[in-house]
C-alpha cells in the first residue's frame, strides 16, 4: 500500500502526554451485544441503512431518505515505522490513524517497529448506516468501540480482540476507533453506507489524552 501524506483525510491532533487505557476483551456475539456482531459469511451480511432524519414536523416521505445504498472495497492498513496508515478504497479516503509511541518521536516510515499498543487520536460513528469489515487473509485485529451517544468519553471505549476467523459488523451510531491489525500490513473487505456520514471525537483536543489500544493477547 502506498500512502501520500498530503492526501490524509484528517490532520491528527497531537501534543499531549496522557493516555486512557481501554479494557481488552475477546470479540464474541455476547461481548458485542449493543455494538454489533461477528460475521461468518460476508456475502450474506446486510448493511442497515438509516433513513434521513426529518428536519421539522413534516416527516420524510416513505421510500425516500434511505436510497443511497452501500459501497464496498478494500480497507488497507500498514504500519510504517511506528505510525499506522490506512486507505479505505470503498470511500476513497486515506488516514493516519495512530502510533505505537508518542507521535512527536514516532517514526513515520521505514521498517515497522515492535508494538505493544496503539495510541489512537480520534473515533467516529456513522449515523447513516452500519459497517462490515472482513479480514481477507484471516488476520487478527483490535478495534475500540463505544455505545451510541454524542456525550461519549474515553472511558466509554472497550477494545475488542478479533482473531481473524470472522468478520465484524458495527451497528449504526456505534462509536469505533481505528481497526488496528497485529500484522505489519492487513487488508479487509469493507462494506458500509454509501453516504458515509461521520461524526467524530478528537481525544487530544477534547480530553487531553490518546485512546490506548492494547495489542497483546487478552487475559481471558
| Domain range summary for the chain, segments of one domain joined by + | 18-47+70-214
Domain covering 18-47+70-214 assigned CATH 1.10.10.10 in the classification: no
Q: Which residue has the cell 474515553?
A: 154
For the stretch 40-91, pLDDT in tens is 999 999 999 999 999 999 999 999 999 999 999 999 999 999 999 999 999 9
Q: Is the pLDDT of residue 220 over 70?
A: no
Tell me the chain's radius of gyration from C-alpha atoms.
Answer: 17
- Rounded-to-integer distance, Cα 122 and Cα 174, Å: 14
- pLDDT category of residue 9 using cuts at 50, 70 and 90: confident
Residues sharing a CB contact under 8 Å with residue 157, sequence separation 6 or more, in sequence order: 20, 22, 123, 144, 145, 146, 175, 177, 211
Q: Which of 165, 23, 191 is nearest to 91 (CA)?
A: 191
Q: Print burial letters for 61-83: b (CB count within 10 Å at least 16), e (below 16).
A: eeeebbeeebbbbebbbbbbbbb
Tell me the backbone φ, ψ of residue 44, rounded to 5 degrees: -95, 0
Residues sharing a CB contact under 8 Å with residue 182, sequence separation 6 or more, in sequence order: 139, 140, 141, 142, 215
Q: Which of 127, 115, 106 is nearest to 50 (CA)?
A: 127
Rounded to whole angstroms, what are the CA distances from 154 to 19, 23, 31, 67, 198? 9, 11, 19, 34, 18
CB 125 within 8 A of CB 35: no
Instruction: Give the three-class secondary structure for 158.
Output: strand
- pLDDT category of residue 134 using cuts at 50, 70 and 90: very high
For the stretch 153-198, pLDDT in tens is 999 999 999 999 999 999 999 999 999 999 999 999 999 999 999 9
- pLDDT category of residue 217 using cuts at 50, 70 and 90: confident
Residues sharing a CB contact under 8 Å with residue 63, sequence separation 6 or more, in sequence order: none
In this prediction the pTM is: 0.94
pLDDT over 70 percentage in the chain: 97
pLDDT for position 28: 97
Q: Is the pLDDT of residue 5 over 60?
A: no
Amino acid at each position: 500500500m502506498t500512502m501520500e501524506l498530503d492526501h490524509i483525510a484528517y490532520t491528527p491532533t497531537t501534543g499531549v502526554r496522557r493516555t486512557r487505557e481501554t479494557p481488552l476483551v475477546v470479540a464474541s456475539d455476547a461481548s458485542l451485544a449493543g455494538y454489533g456482531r461477528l460475521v461468518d459469511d460476508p456475502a450474506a451480511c446486510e448493511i442497515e441503512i438509516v433513513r434521513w432524519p426529518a428536519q421539522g414536523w413534516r416527516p420524510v416521505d416513505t421510500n425516500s431518505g434511505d436510497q443511497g445504498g452501500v459501497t464496498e472495497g478494500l480497507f488497507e492498513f500498514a504500519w510504517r515505522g511506528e505510525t499506522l496508515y490506512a486507505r479505505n478504497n470503498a470511500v476513497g479516503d486515506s488516514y493516519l490513524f495512530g502510533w505505537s509511541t508518542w507521535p512527536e518521536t514516532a517514526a513515520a516510515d521505514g521498517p515497522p517497529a515492535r508494538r505493544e499498543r496503539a495510541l489512537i487520536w480520534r473515533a467516529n460513528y456513522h449515523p447513516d448506516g452500519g459497517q462490515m469489515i472482513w479480514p481477507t487473509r484471516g488476520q487478527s485485529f483490535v478495534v475500540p468501540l463505544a455505545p451510541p451517544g454524542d456525550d461519549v468519553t474515553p472511558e466509554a471505549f472497550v477494545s475488542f480482540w478479533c482473531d481473524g476467523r470472522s468478520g465484524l459488523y458495527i451497528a449504526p451510531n456505534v462509536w469505533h476507533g481505528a481497526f488496528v491489525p497485529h500484522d505489519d500490513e492487513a487488508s479487509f473487505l469493507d462494506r458500509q453506507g454509501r453516504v458515509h456520514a461521520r461524526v467524530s471525537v478528537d481525544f487530544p483536543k477534547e480530553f487531553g489524552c490518546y485512546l490506548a489500544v492494547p495489542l497483546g493477547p487478552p487475559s481471558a
